[in-house]
Structure 1
Amino acid sequence: MAKWYQNITELYTRKGFSAMIALLSALLLFSMLSFISSDNTYSIERFQLSPETIRSSKTVEDTMKTEQDRQAAIEATDPVYVFQDDAAENQAAWVQSVFESLIAAKQQELDEASSENAIRLFRDELETLSADLSNVLTDEEVQAMIEQPLSALETSANLLSKDVNAKLTEPIRSGQLTSVREQSVNEMRNRLPYSQSFETALAKIIRLAIVETEIIDEELTEERKEQAASQVEPTRILQGQLLVQKGQYVDREIYRQLELSGMISNQTSYIPFIGIALLSLLAIGSIYGAFLISKGTKKTKMKQLAVTLLVLILATLLMVITSLIDDNFTLTIAFLFPTAFVAMTVYLLTTERHAYVSIISVSLLSGYIFKEGFTSFLQTDIALYNLVGGLAGIFALKMISNNAHILKASAVVALINVLFMLAYLLLSSTSITMKDSFLFIGLALLSGMISGAFTLGTLPFFESAFSILSTMKLLELANPGHPLLKKLLMETPGTYHHSVMVANLSESACEAIGANGLFARVACYYHDIGKTRRPGFFIENQTNGYNPHDHLPPETSASIIKDHTTDGASILLQNRIPRPIIDVALQHHGTTCVKYFYFKAKKEHDAVEQENFRYSGPKPQTKEAAVISIADSVEAAVRSMQQPSSTKIKELIDSIVSDRVNDGQFDECEISMKDLVKVKESIYSTLQGFYHERIEYPKETTK
């Protein structure tokens, strides 16, 4: 697995690789969420019996029914009528005008003794006055009208105009016209006993004279109809609404509602998948955003991104599996999901920021995956349950110091889960039995404990697969009871003390420049483990003044000294110490020269190649390795000083750092000159605490 990951890391420097990883994760997440999409469909045909009871899985507007309701509201709206105040006067005047024309024609007949000219004159007048009346009057009726005496015509004119005026002062609508006209005609016939032809003519005049006095205001009526239509609420098929009972006959209307709700299996709706895609992008995008704004080397950031995405995918897979078997239980087992697993694992392997972002993402996903019944989008109680549990896991881990305390952190999570569950049960509107309440509390308790178990179980996998040294692993390696540290203490006590001192210097210096101080401390504990193979050849372990190098050629002595880096790497590798610590063991001297034996060799003979006295390297590759290399040399040099003072220590630190810079030892790591200034200040400040000047106490005198 480690080799596989090593090959993958070669792609880190390629542009767009991180975006490709995020996109692939989003696609994988989309596939899993699509698999458990809750939009159930059924194979149902028209005019058959429904195989099961079906409820709508979503709320959707029934546009057809809404339009029908709006049309019904429009049709039910009464038209707005406007009374014509001048209708009575105008129509009465019209009646008078007809008879005035008739009387004029009658007068001409009397003067000329010619009815034909009178009829022609009357017809001409009617064409101008009322073409409708002219068209309905027959020649026989016109002849009858001309033949009437003037007194009869005048009487008829007065009676008809008064009657029309009286009738039109009352509201008359189109539906009432026929009855009002016939009533007036009957009244006229009862009051004027004339010939049938003349009465028929008068009846036609009355029918044309009586018109609507209340007419529809089209504009205002249209406004009323539009207002009525707008007030009709859209008809909706509600989520959870019963559409058809099992065994019920599926008629056209039921089938239409099933189609509209998307419950028919032969329908394909892409809208839910668009929503799932957006949800996937939101979850992955938030993690990718945390990656973009995080600090550190590109390799470190890529590890953090890969780990966070993988943990999220694994958690999602676990939630999907849980949701698929949830239907087999009478009450939801979603509360059994390890709420703090993602947060705790990501926190331990990456950063606190990644942990917060990941728990928000997993809470969002859990709300969708575990939604039940006809929840519109999220099961909010499940989402909040996971969010609170995850946050509890992060806060609890801030107080732990080793792997064993993960179980204590999981106990804290379990407690928080139980408290949340109690609040959920007490505030729930659903009636829950005492037995079910205890079951829910048991699930919450188990969830917290499983979170710790999952975290402990997966940490070794991630640490091995991604070559990550988690905080827990570092604390475990820092334990003085570790076999290698016990070996170092027992066989090389001087080196052990030196390593502890270098660890103190390195940790504070790394923290000053934003590097990993805890890693630097632990790496220092093991960086000189190679000296345990030949402890007596290193001055800090020599006793009784005996130095074996006094009897060896300088080349041999230099080779023994240089070998402690490769020997250390070999010992660490055999004991399965993580690779980053092995790298520090190899890099803490870089390719520097073992100057003491180099100059000793030069005194013996001039033909000495400096390369033969240089460490095999490689040069420091990280800020932590660079800081450790400085602290290692400074501590050894200060310890060898006879009377260290503040000035001497400061000059020594400056000299060592300058020498390393001039020798190109930091060319392969990202440490800057600004960082080196902070490192020097930190090491100087720490050494001041170790080698501060002490006052000389007076000797006691005896009397």
Structure 2
Amino acid sequence: MFRPLVNLFKSLKFKYMSMFVISLSAILLFLLMYGNVKQETYELHEFKISPKTVRSLKTVEDTVKTEQEKKRIAAEVTPFYQFNEEVSKIRQAIAASLFDFIIEAKEENEKSAADTEDGAEVKTKSRSEQIKEIRQKLKKLEEEEPNLRLTDDAIISLLKEDPSDLRNMQQELTKIIGDELSKPIRSGDLASVRYEVERKLRLSDAIPSDQLQTLITLGRSLVVETETINRELTDKRIEEEKNAVEPTRILQGQVIVREGQFIDSEIYRQLELTGLLTNKSSMKPMLGLALFVLFLSVIMYMHFYTWEENKNRKKKALFIVYSIFFILVIMMKLISLIDKEFDVQVAFLFPTALAPLLIKLLTNERMALMITIITAATAGIMLQEGYAAIMQMELTLYILFSGLLSLYLLGNNGRRSNILRTSIGVAVANILFIGFYLLMTQSNYELNELIFYFAAAIASGILSGALTIGLMPFFESGFGLLSDMRLIELSNPNHPLLKKVLTETPGTYHHSVMVANLADAACESVGGNGLLARVGSYYHDIGKTIRPTFFIENQHGGQNPHDELPPDKSKDIIIAHAVDGAELLKKHKMPAEIIDIARQHHGTSLLKYFHVKAREMGQDVKEADYRYPGPKPQTKEIAIISIADSVEAAVRSMKDPTPEKIANLVKAIITDKLNDGQFDECDLSMKELRKVEKVICETLNGIFHSRIEYPE
């Protein structure tokens, strides 16, 4: 069912085809995942009754509440007060200056009066002039201290006093002011301090009764704060306290409004803040999902871009990976739709190892590792339950750990029995993870819940293996792939074509089995696919079943049909077995790799026997006419099979084979094929040829070992 898609893109360059497929898949993945990340919104109205209970789907900071809390804390912070010792001295100096101005004016006027009595022409100042002069001196002081303004009557009253009395009053006032202002005084203490100054002035004997009210007014106005707020330090303390305030948050899962509750302005504000209202839905999840899908697509592209492999194989792998991935995504989507209907996490039923098992069997382990990680991350988002912040982390780890373990358990053996053993191992791993999950949640579970979770863990593992076995044939036939499982099926002696070889050409069957043993061992030694070489060897001479008696291993009684045929006819019959075999395999819809082995295992090698025979008969023959049509071996597996095929036939015809004879023969055959250019089109190096030679010799020595002579 996938073959039409593959054929459609065969003509495209892999770079452009992969970009198109990955981009198209990214769009499809976004559409499938969007419903799982889109935030649920509600049609709710302010000052209405809520029709349902609404919980916050995320944790968000309530900035309004946080700011209110900061203001409350700031208002409760005790100001930082600082005592100023200089205040007392300054206020005393001001009090002293007031009296100094009056005393100075009075003494100057008295001096002028004395000079006038002595005959000097000095004019005394009038009372108004004295007041004006004193007012002029007090001007600057009154500008800085408006509360210290003396009335004209107070000045006149003080000017009537003797300078000695004024000095006594000056000393008494400054003393009282100095005593009171030497203590810490805050704004709230001013009234009581002023009262204390007034009380002391009333009790003082140095204050004339007619001047008492003036000094009381003056003394009260001189009282100021001595301990004031240090604004810089206070602001710093306020800032520290505000910074220490924990932000007020609406927590994930927190009930904002219950069913039947009145939606007041505060609740409505919280609904707006969390984006739960239809008209306030956020675009952030959509943008976040787009970045996630882009990230996965880039990883996928880079993985294929850096993979050094045949372009056709890369194209197939690309379609296989995305086909399997979207099968899993659809599974996730279905699970996410039904998961809400249950109190337990149905998502634990997801076949955790399906992706890595299928991808490894159909492509390679590196690809399987990548898809395991991507599948786990995708499942964490799509299978969210409740109020997971970004992804359901326990499910992500569940799929990731099980998938990684399945790769190690599977190894390089793709047999059905091994896949089932792997699925059982995955089930055990799932049980261990479920145990970890249940213990870490520290919740109390009912017995039926525990049974479900452990049953889900087992089902997940078994499903992984069962679905892998079930889906493999579809991918193999759809993409023309040859997996280990398919190869094992083809190696069954009960296969119709193998039965045909066994019954119709028993000699060829025995020869094929011997070639299979040699090719399998040799391929494994150079990192080739030994299983493919073994199974391909079983079918490589299937064309001989069309004319079995024309091949020496199937001849009995010493009669050889070629003795009665001209060399050119014999040549055509022998060469035809490669072409006929390929056609027969194609007719039975055998994998392309097996067909290629049948067609290419002789390459373009020369039929020396019949070529020489024709020349001996005097025929003018061309060497090219006695060569197989090819093509030459395209893979190392086919090249090794061609060596094993020639070596097995040659050694079987030897009399008394010894290790030395076998070694010389194997080396000669490989050298001859190498010089004939039969390995020019495959990736078999000289170093690997030496290994192949050594392994084939060791295998042949084991087969043709010396036997003891039993007595009669």
CA shift digits 1:263-312 (9 cap, x unpaired): 22223534333443454455566666665666654444554444233322
For the 8 Å contact 1:287–1:308, the answer to whether it is kept is: no
Using the alignment, how far apart are the partners of 1:285 and 1:522 within structure 2? 39
Whether 1:341 aligns to 2:354 is yes
Q: How does 1:543-622 map to 2 (within 5 A)?
A: 543-622=556-635
Using the alignment, how far apart are the partners of 1:399 and 1:666 within structure 2? 28
Query: SS of the residue aligned with 1:266?
Result: helix
Using the alignment, how far apart are the partners of 2:571 and 2:527 within structure 1? 35
Tell me what 1:316 maps to: 329
For the 8 Å contact 1:9–1:299, the answer to whether it is kept is: no
Using the alignment, how far apart are the partners of 2:408 and 2:62 within structure 1? 49
Using the alignment, how far apart are the partners of 2:601 and 2:318 within structure 1? 29
- Note the C-alpha offset of 1:598: 2.2
Using the alignment, how far apart are the partners of 1:17 and 1:671 within structure 2? 30
Using the alignment, how far apart are the partners of 1:399 and 1:18 within structure 2? 28
Tell me what 2:97 maps to: 97
Using the alignment, how far apart are the partners of 1:217 and 1:428 within structure 2? 52
Quote the sequence identity (%): 43
- Note the C-alpha offset of 1:581: 0.8
User: For residue 77 of structure 1, what is the amino acid of its counterpart?
Assistant: V
CA shift digits 1:539-575 (9 cap, x unpaired): 1111111111111122221111111122212222232
For the 8 Å contact 2:525–2:691, the answer to whether it is kept is: yes
Q: How does 1:204-243 map to 2 (within 5 A)?
A: 204-243=217-256
- Note the C-alpha offset of 1:92: 2.0
In structure 2, relative to structure 1, the CA distance for the partners of 1:335 and 1:129 (3 Å cut) is closer
Q: How does 1:423-572 map to 2 (within 5 A)?
A: 424-425=437-438, 428-572=441-585
Query: SS of the residue aligned with 1:600?
Result: helix
For the 8 Å contact 2:37–2:381, the answer to whether it is kept is: no
Query: SS of the residue aligned with 2:65?
Result: helix
Aligned mate of 2:265, from 252, 257, 275: 252
- Note the C-alpha offset of 1:319: 0.8
Query: SS of the residue aligned with 1:243?
Result: strand
Using the alignment, how far apart are the partners of 2:132 and 2:704 within structure 1? 144
Using the alignment, how far apart are the partners of 1:521 and 1:530 within structure 2? 17
Using the alignment, how far apart are the partners of 1:53 and 1:544 within structure 2? 95
Whether 1:354 aligns to 2:367 is yes
CA shift digits 1:43-99 (9 cap, x unpaired): 333333333211111111222322222232222212111112233233223312221
**Greater Cα offset, 366-375 or 115-124:** 115-124
Tell me what 1:110 maps to: 110
User: For residue 376 of structure 1, what is the amino acid of its counterpart?
Assistant: A
- Note the C-alpha offset of 1:212: 1.4
CA shift digits 1:344-365 (9 cap, x unpaired): 2223222334334433332332
Aligned mate of 2:666, from 653, 672, 691: 653
**Greater Cα offset, 546-555 or 505-514:** 505-514
CA shift digits 1:486-538 (9 cap, x unpaired): 22122212111211121122222222222211111111111111111111111
Whether 1:667 aligns to 2:655 is no
Query: SS of the residue aligned with 1:390?
Result: helix
In structure 2, relative to structure 1, the CA distance for the partners of 1:328 and 1:591 (3 Å cut) is same
- Note the C-alpha offset of 1:214: 0.4
TM-score, normalised via structure 2 length? 0.89
Using the alignment, how far apart are the partners of 1:531 and 1:106 within structure 2? 151
Tell me what 2:115 maps to: none
Using the alignment, how far apart are the partners of 2:349 and 2:520 within structure 1? 41
Query: SS of the residue aligned with 2:228?
Result: strand
Query: SS of the residue aligned with 2:82?
Result: strand
Query: SS of the residue aligned with 2:352?
Result: coil
In structure 2, relative to structure 1, the CA distance for the partners of 1:679 and 1:304 (3 Å cut) is farther
**Greater Cα offset, 391-400 or 34-43:** 391-400
**Greater Cα offset, 493-502 or 93-102:** 93-102
- The total of aligned residue pairs comes to 697
For the 8 Å contact 1:2–1:467, the answer to whether it is kept is: no
**Greater Cα offset, 362-371 or 278-287:** 278-287
Using the alignment, how far apart are the partners of 1:12 and 1:626 within structure 2? 30
Tell me what 2:116 maps to: none
User: For residue 601 of structure 1, what is the amino acid of its counterpart?
Assistant: A
Using the alignment, how far apart are the partners of 2:494 and 2:155 within structure 1? 136
For the 8 Å contact 2:351–2:461, the answer to whether it is kept is: yes
For the 8 Å contact 1:620–1:665, the answer to whether it is kept is: yes
For the 8 Å contact 1:126–1:133, the answer to whether it is kept is: no
TM-score, normalised via structure 1 length? 0.90
**Greater Cα offset, 3-12 or 67-76:** 3-12
Whether 1:67 aligns to 2:67 is yes
For the 8 Å contact 2:10–2:312, the answer to whether it is kept is: no
Using the alignment, how far apart are the partners of 1:281 and 1:543 within structure 2? 69
CA shift digits 1:422-456 (9 cap, x unpaired): 55446652322223333333333333332233212
In structure 2, relative to structure 1, the CA distance for the partners of 1:307 and 1:433 (3 Å cut) is same
For the 8 Å contact 1:82–1:217, the answer to whether it is kept is: yes
Tell me what 2:137 maps to: 125
User: For residue 540 of structure 1, what is the amino acid of its counterpart?
Assistant: E
Tell me what 1:154 maps to: 167
Using the alignment, how far apart are the partners of 2:212 and 2:583 within structure 1? 135
CA shift digits 1:108-129 (9 cap, x unpaired): 2323343344334423432455
Aligned mate of 1:172, from 177, 181, 185: 185
Tell me what 1:46 maps to: 46
- Note the C-alpha offset of 1:624: 1.5
For the 8 Å contact 1:312–1:342, the answer to whether it is kept is: yes
Tell me what 2:79 maps to: 79
CA shift digits 1:607-649 (9 cap, x unpaired): 3233332323222222222222222222222323334444444
Whether 1:143 aligns to 2:176 is no
For the 8 Å contact 1:363–1:386, the answer to whether it is kept is: yes
Tell me what 2:377 maps to: 364
**Greater Cα offset, 662-671 or 207-216:** 662-671
In structure 2, relative to structure 1, the CA distance for the partners of 1:5 and 1:484 (3 Å cut) is farther
Query: SS of the residue aligned with 1:44?
Result: coil
Q: CA RMSD in A?
A: 3.1
For the 8 Å contact 1:168–1:213, the answer to whether it is kept is: yes
CA shift digits 1:165-216 (9 cap, x unpaired): 1210221123433553355346546765645xx6564345324422211022
User: For residue 573 of structure 1, what is the amino acid of its counterpart?
Assistant: K
- Note the C-alpha offset of 1:234: 1.4
Using the alignment, how far apart are the partners of 2:610 and 2:412 within structure 1? 49
CA shift digits 1:673-700 (9 cap, x unpaired): 44333333333333333345x3775x85
Stretches of structure 2 that go unaligned for 5 or more consecutive residues are 113-123
**Greater Cα offset, 638-647 or 280-289:** 280-289
Using the alignment, how far apart are the partners of 2:169 and 2:284 within structure 1? 79
Tell me what 1:35 maps to: 35
User: For residue 602 of structure 2, what is the amino acid of its counterpart?
Assistant: H
Using the alignment, how far apart are the partners of 1:6 and 1:590 within structure 2? 29
Using the alignment, how far apart are the partners of 2:410 and 2:583 within structure 1? 34
In structure 2, relative to structure 1, the CA distance for the partners of 1:288 and 1:262 (3 Å cut) is same
Using the alignment, how far apart are the partners of 1:224 and 1:334 within structure 2? 53
Stretches of structure 1 that go unaligned for 5 or more consecutive residues are none
In structure 2, relative to structure 1, the CA distance for the partners of 1:133 and 1:544 (3 Å cut) is closer
Using the alignment, how far apart are the partners of 2:42 and 2:427 within structure 1? 41
Using the alignment, how far apart are the partners of 1:614 and 1:122 within structure 2? 140
For the 8 Å contact 1:593–1:610, the answer to whether it is kept is: yes
Query: SS of the residue aligned with 2:278?
Result: coil
For the 8 Å contact 1:2–1:466, the answer to whether it is kept is: yes
In structure 2, relative to structure 1, the CA distance for the partners of 1:139 and 1:422 (3 Å cut) is closer
For the 8 Å contact 1:288–1:305, the answer to whether it is kept is: no
User: For residue 48 of structure 1, what is the amino acid of its counterpart?
Assistant: K
